[in-house]
Amino acid sequence: MPSAAYLSGQAALVTGATSGIGRAIALALARAGASVVVNYHAHPEEGEAVVQEIRQGGGQGVAIGADVSREEEVAAMFRQAVEEFGTLDILVNNAGIQQDIPFVKMSLADWRQVLAVNLTGSFLCAREAAREFCRRGVAPERSRAAGKILFISSVHEVIPWAGHVNYAASKGGIGQLMRSLAQELAPERIRVNSIAPGAIKTDINRHDWEEPEAAAKLCKLIPYGRIGDTDDVASVAVWLLSDEADYITGTTIFVDGGMLLYPGFGTGG
Ligand code: BGC
């Protein structure tokens, strides 16, 4: 893990930070010296628990609630974050949901809900962050960039996923949102990138890794032979958000143990 100096003096907002990948990233950013806004959706006590952990590690954090798919709640969260820390340097667009169902049974509500959180939520948060980054501009004592936006996408940005078309469509959308935004915001010195995790042990896919047989089946899709941990993603996030990665924008980094390498072709084809 990078040292505390890495992101010291910077303020970050992580959406969906009460569990899984979001929580690991919030904790890792705090360990790297950033002040962290821990966004929660419905349960303030879950946000507070992550903030407590941050404080116990000597870091600074605050929990702020918002449903990322609601414009007014997102605007209020960013206002509160800027009041709390003066400005923001980093947004991690992590909040995401899965609602799996065969396509012919998929209701409009199933479709809308996943798109609303995963894609529209990312848009709404990115817009608020970009406004603050543009307002402040580059502050060299904080970072070489005026701001950094990181999307947490998925291997399903690229790999089609039967039975999950709403989710896969939302992640495909994040790909073009990220790249177009990177192009538009580069002249403002705002860096925009994605991390696309593969199978990482979180609640979203618990049924795929908790039982040994399920885990063995999942591992067949992972050439590297292990299911990922949330810290596999968090350590890459900290680096990508730091000035060490200052020349990287518009890129997706796949953190997937090789899931994208067509593992079925490893022994045939
Ligand atoms: C999904 C997980 C899945 C992984 C690999 C992720 O985006 O949220 O449920 O295990 O992709 O298929």
How far apart are alpha carbons 198 and 154 in whole angstroms?
6
Residue 86 lies in a domain: yes
How far apart are alpha carbons 90 and 83 in whole angstroms?
15
User: What's 100's domain CATH number?
Assistant: 3.40.50.720
Give per-residue pLDDT as tens, 211-223: 999 999 999 999 9
The total number of structural domains that make up the chain: 1
Confidence (pLDDT) at 2? 54
* Residues spanned by the domain of 17: 11-201+229-257
How far apart are alpha carbons 155 and 258 in whole angstroms?
10
Residue 224 lies in a domain: no
Residue 55 lies in a domain: yes
Confidence (pLDDT) at 268? 81
Residues 6+ apart with CB under 8 A from 15: 22, 39, 66, 68, 91, 92, 93, 94, 95, 121, 125
Confidence (pLDDT) at 267? 87
Residues forming a β-bridge with 203 = none
How far apart are alpha carbons 177 and 187 in whole angstroms?
17
How far apart are alpha carbons 32 and 15 in whole angstroms?
18
Residue 4 lies in a domain: no
Residue 3 lies in a domain: no
Given phi > 0 = left and psi -120 to 50 = alpha, else beta, which region is 23? alpha
Confidence (pLDDT) at 49? 98
Residues of the chain with pLDDT under 70: 1-4
Report the separation in Å between the CA atom of 161 and the middle of ligand 1, taken as the mean of its atom positions: 10
pTM above 0.85, yes or no: yes
Confidence (pLDDT) at 4? 54
Residue 25 lies in a domain: yes
Specify whether 40 is catalytic: no
Report the separation in Å between the CA atom of 163 and the middle of ligand 1, taken as the mean of its atom positions: 12
Confidence (pLDDT) at 242? 98
Ligand 1, atom 10, lies closest to the CA of 199
Report the separation in Å between the CA atom of 154 and the middle of ligand 1, taken as the mean of its atom positions: 7
66 token code pair:
């918002």
Confidence (pLDDT) at 3? 54
In short, whether 59's Cβ falls inside 6 Å of ligand 1 is: no
Cα 61 vs. chain centroid, distance in angstroms? 18
How far apart are alpha carbons 201 and 209 in whole angstroms?
7
In short, whether 20's Cβ falls inside 6 Å of ligand 1 is: no
Q: Is residue 56 packed enough to be buried (19+ CB in 10 Å), middle (13-18) or exposed (0-12)? A: exposed
Any idea which residue has 């996030």 for tokens? 237
Residue 206 lies in a domain: no
DSSP for residue 51: H
Residue 218 lies in a domain: no
